[in-house]
Amino acid sequence: MSYLDKATLKVVGTRPIRPDGVDKVIGRATFGADHTMPGMLWGKVKRSPHAHARIKKINIDKALKVPGVHAIVTAADFPDIPNEEAFVGEGPMNFRDLSRNCMARDKALYDGHAVAAVAATSQAAAEEAIDLIEVEYEVLPHVIDVEAAMAPNAPILHDDMFTQGVEPKPTKPSNIAKKITFTKGDIAKGFAEAEVVIERKYTTKPVHQAYIEPHACVVAIGADGQATIWSSSQGQFMVRAYCAKLLNIDIANIRAVPAEIGGGFGGKTLVYLEPVALALSKKTGRPVKIVMNREEVFRGTGPTSGGTIEVKLGAKKSGRIVAAELVLKYQAGAFAGSPVGPGCMCAFAMYDLDNVHITGYDVVSNRPKVAAYRAPGAPISSFGVESCVDELARELKIDPLALREMNAAREGTKTPYGPTLVNVGYIPTLEAARNHPNLKIKLGKNQGRGVASGFWFNIGGESSAAVHINEDGTASVIEGNPDIGGSRASMAMMAAEVLGIPYDRVRAIVADTGSIGFTFLTGGSRVTFATGMAVTQAAEKVVEQLKSRAAAIWDISAEAVEWKDGKAFPAGANAGSFEPLSLADIAIKSGRTGGPISAEVSINAQGAGPGFATHVCDVEVDPETGHVKILRYTAVQDVGRAIHPSYVEGQIQGGVTQGVGWALNEEYIYDKNGCLENPGFLDYRIPVASDMPMIDAVMVEVPNPRHPFGARGVGEVPIVPPMAAVANAIADAVGARMRDLPMSPPKLRAMLDEQDPPRMAAE
């Protein structure tokens, strides 16, 4: 059934308070580190102090003698998994690499790589034992940056890695795991037709998702061999599947219970601690708890890639882009698997282009293996492309919004990665940006305005949901997705709308892996779309049951009952004359009409609609210090249909804020030995509230007809445009074109010094 007619909706589109909100704000929610058990041991991980080293020997004798120590595990305690790739969880996963990322085998590949772990009766004993584990290393040459890792003489991380995607098949190992290409049209012909050609190189640094809650878990194995895992993650089913694979345990013997999650943004779509705690629990027979500190989060878990972006654009003087070429080199960290693929696919997706050639390289280096981060890969390539489009606009003296409008992807545009776009709202975002009052505000001295757009596919996937009608006429919704962005509220709202009852009569619960059918993780902006679809279908099944129960009470045919505003009515005069029955009236009699009223639906949701965004950023540059102040920020996005507008706006504002941090301050700083020098929030500078103005989130609603309410994913695309929007605004303010992120005060100050004479924006 479709609920696309907004005028008929009573609950969807309103702004109730999320049920988990207050507890999370005041710290009462049970996060990963809050769980405890009787007899629990404390686990602690020993980490490599070297960026690249062969592990020659690990001696645990002294550590085992520390009072309170129960067990120590190393790679020898984990199955040696063969080199195989499978699509389980968040993307193609090589389980050998995942296992070796959780516990180094043979070689430590980055500063902070886990090499052993201890379980002890106290944290102090575990820490003392960690210091007494003797690891004999052969320190090897290391490589940190992506282009250095691609150089012919670079230290090689994996002797068995040969570049895929090149012919003939290489005979020498390389740090380049993969080369990919996407081609549309004839790039040489396109550049031959161009009247203006701009060629630029841009670079970005790896940045961490900077979730406030560090990774944490408790794992217990019962006498019956059943393991229970309590942890903070973006998917309890992902935790279960990965742990089963890495420890060679049947999935049925693991139950994963989701804790409340204090941020993930893609960074908790992997396991780090859970397999280690599971191995320690298996060895000791006791529950084991491990909690990372902030330094471990930075040194031991995955940021997103840094990369280089080489862009070449050819255009007519009218502004029509006739050729677009791109080379992307993305750091994958210690194991293959950067998001260079989606980076390639998203880079030019905002444009209707005839001639495109894109090349991407996936490159390993001695850094933590990258993890997903909102719209993985797209922000990096878009920083280059959207900066270069701005440079083209300036060269052609065309308004940057007008240049985008002239070349914009629209209904029927064939994308450079293949499919033709349908049901998309990019042009409406450009129109809404142009018409926003913020764009009419006159800028002052040293102030500038920057425009950038972005694209993300969004996904659907496997989801299960159940709706139960309780005896008092309230409803319970059971979902399998950890609630990160307010999904309890959204799920309850969709169920309430279908059932025809108020939002506060529906309670949504996030269930463990034993209590609901398989549900793919919370990521890819899929939950409101896919799990929302499952909830809607389950609620519709319940409505059918309610109609048949009313029919039983009235002793008429179920076809003669209609459901409206939460009540059963006789469908016309022929059905008979009965007083309407409310949901509560029917629920209290459910025992006499066939038993409990409930439905569970498991689906694989398809056809997630893509998301487009256009951002406009106003900045003021302090020429004395190089500090950039964000004056105002207008983020326009096609959201399909906002189920809960406040939480959609929150997703947009959060993505923008993280993007501004990526643009201005965030970076990993390594010393000459490849060791991370800033593993903490004092030295790794993320934006705080005082850095940001109120972000104007503007929702354009082009409904996705695949979803009953028209929803499309909203959490990814808002992080795609900000870096270029900020860079373009800085260029507008002071004429300094920053092509290397972050655009931190010292770097901007240095660039202003290079200007001769300094150019300041006109008042």
Other C-beta atoms closer than 10 Å to the C-beta of 301 total 24
How are beta strands 611-621 and 628-638 bridged, if at all? antiparallel
**Is the distance from CB of 636 to CB of 700 less than 8 angstroms?**
yes
Judged by beta carbon, residue 68 or residue 165, the one nearer other proteins is: 165
Task: State in angstroms the smallest separation of the CB of 639 from other proteins.
Answer: 16
Between CA 556 and CA 576 the distance in angstroms is 8
Q: Which of 257, 262, 335 is nearest to 294 (CA)?
A: 262
The token pair that represents 17 in the structure block:
């308070």
Tokens of 551: 């029919």
Residues 6+ apart with CB under 8 A from 655: 374, 635, 715, 716, 717, 718, 719, 720, 722
Of the two residues 418 and 572, which places its CB atom closer to other proteins in the complex? 418
CB of 704 to other proteins, least distance (A): 10
Minimal distance, residue 418 CB to other proteins, in Å:
4
Q: Is there a contact between 70 and 120 (Cβ–Cβ < 8 Å)?
A: yes
H or E element that contains 176: strand 176-184
> Whose Cβ is closer to other proteins: residue 374's or residue 468's?
374
Structure tokens at 671: 């010393």
Tell me how far apart the alpha carbons of residues 301 and 215 are, in angstroms, rounded to a whole number: 9
In whole angstroms, how close is the CB of 179 to other proteins at the nearest point? 7
Question: What is the rounded distance in angstroms from the CA atom of residue 330 to the CA atom of residue 343?
Answer: 9
CA–CA distance, 273 with 293 (Å, rounded to integer): 12
Of how many residues is the chain composed?
Answer: 763
Residue 136 annotated among the catalytic residues of the structure: no
Among residues 624, 716, 754, 763, the one annotated as catalytic is 716
State which residue, 11 or 371, has the beta carbon closest to other proteins. Answer: 371
Rounded Cα distance, 259 and 34, in Å: 9
Angle (nearest 5°) at CA 659 between 656 and 665: 130
Q: How far apart, in whole angstroms, are the C-alpha atoms of residue 596 and residue 591? A: 7
Please report how the helices 722-734 and 378-396 are oriented relative to each other, as an axis angle in degrees rounded to 10: 30
CA angle 192–198–202, rounded 5-degree value = 135
Closest to 686 in 3D by CA, of 700, 714, 710, 667 = 667
Residue 313 beta carbon to other proteins: minimum distance, rounded to whole angstroms:
22
Report how far apart, in Å, the C-alpha atoms of 703 and of each of 382, 609, 639, 640, 651 are.
Answer: 25, 9, 8, 4, 18
Q: Which is nearer to other proteins, 461 or 722 (CB)?
A: 461
Q: How many CA atoms lie within 13 A of 537 on its CB side?
A: 18
Question: 417 or 563, CB closer to other proteins?
Answer: 417
Phi, psi angle pair for 85, to nearest 5°: -115, 135
For other proteins, the closer CB: 16 or 263: 263
Taking the complex as a whole, how short is the minimal distance between the CB of residue 187 and other proteins, in angstroms? 16
Helix (H, G, I), strand (E, B) or coil at 445: coil
DSSP 49: S
Specify the amino acid at residue 77.
Answer: D
Nearer to other proteins, 419 or 576 (CB): 419
Task: Provide the binding-site residues for other proteins, judged by CB under 8 A.
Answer: 85-87, 90-92, 164-165, 178-182, 209, 265-267, 269, 341-342, 345, 372-376, 417-422, 456-461, 523-526, 604, 606-608, 706, 713, 715-716
Q: How far apart (Å, rounded) are the C-alpha atoms in residues 17 and 629?
A: 32
Q: Is the dihedral of CA 421, 322, 345, 487 positive or negative?
A: negative
Closest CA to 52 of 336, 337, 334, 299: 334
Q: Which two tokens stand for residue 626?
A: 């190089």
Alpha-helical segments (H) within 555-707: 583-588, 645-664
Asked whether the beta carbons of 149 and 117 are under 8 A apart, the reply is no
Nearest residue (CB) to other proteins, 191 versus 457: 457
Terminal CA-to-CA distance of the chain, rounded, Å? 56
For residue 707, the minimal CB distance to other proteins (Å) is 12
Nearer Cβ to other proteins (30/604): 604
User: What secondary structure letter does DSSP report for 213?
Assistant: S
Of the pair 606, 673, the CB lying nearest other proteins is at 606
Instruction: Considering the complex, state which of residue 84 and residue 131 has its C-beta at the smaller distance from other proteins.
Output: 84
Supply the minimum distance, in Å, between the C-beta of residue 271 and other proteins: 16
Nearest approach, Cβ of residue 610 and other proteins (Å): 8
How does strand 196-204 pair with strand 307-315? antiparallel
Q: How far is the CB of 382 from other proteins (least distance, A)?
A: 14
Annotated active-site positions, please? 716
